[in-house]
Amino acid sequence: MDAEELLQRYATGERNFPGVRLRGVFLDNTKLMEINLSGADLSGAKLNRANLSCAKLCGAALCEVDFTGANLSRADLRGVNLKGSGIIDADLTEAILDGAVIGGEESAIKGANFDRASLRGANFIMAALIQTSFRGAIFDGASFDSDSGFNDSDLTGASFQVSNFRLPEYIPPGGGRIILPDGRSVGEIKCDRNLP
C-alpha cells in the first residue's frame, strides 16, 4: 500500500489498516483522525503537521518518523518504537505511550506537549526531553538510561514511581530549568534528590 491508496480509502470512510507497510511515506498535513494503524510499519515516514488524534498505533514501528507539529492527542501508542523519531512541537496530550521506546541517537524531542499522557513502563533511551511539558503525565515504571534527561521541562503534577531516575547534581548555566512534580523549580543549583 502507498500513501495515495491509504488516503483514498480513508476518504471513503475506511479506518482500519492494521499491519500495513508504509515505510518512508509522505503524509504531511494529512487528516487521519481515529485511523487504526496498529502493528503498521511506518518507519521513516513524514507526518509533519498530520492530525492523528485518537489514532490507534499500538505496536507500530515508528522508528525515524518525523512528527514535527503533528497532533497525536489521545492516540494509542502502546508499545511503539519511536527510536530516532523527531517529536518537535507535537501534541501528545492524553496519549497512551505505555511500554513505548522513546529516544535514540538521532531523536529530537523538543517543544512537545505530553500533558496527562500515560508513559507507564516506557523506555527512554538517549532521550533529551527539551522544552517539553509533561504536566500530569504518568511515568510509573518507566526507565531512563544515563543519557536521558529533562531540560527546560515542566513536570508539574507528574507521577514518577521509577527507581532509576535522579535529577542531575546540577543544571549547568544555560541549561534551563525543570519544574518538579510538586511545582518547585530547579535550575542552575546543586541538587541530589529523587523525583517524588
Question: What's 188's domain CATH number?
Answer: 2.160.20.80
Look at the chain and report how many structural domains it folds into. Answer: 1
Instruction: Give the closest residue to 48 by CA, choosing from 78, 28, 23.
Output: 28
Residue 133's DSSP bridge partners are 113, 154
Beta strands in 60-107 (DSSP E): 81-83, 86-88, 101-103
The pLDDT value recorded for residue 180 is: 77
Cell of 102: 522513546
- pLDDT < 50: residue spans in the chain: 188-196
The pLDDT value recorded for residue 178 is: 79
What range defines the domain where residue 157 resides? 1-196
The pLDDT value recorded for residue 190 is: 39
Instruction: Give the closest residue to 117 by CA, choosing from 135, 131, 90.
Output: 135
For 99-134, write each residue's pLDDT tens digit.
999 999 888 899 999 999 999 999 999 998 999 999
Output the CA torsion 188→189→194→196 (10° steps). Answer: -80
- Rounded Cα distance between 57 and 188, Å, is 39
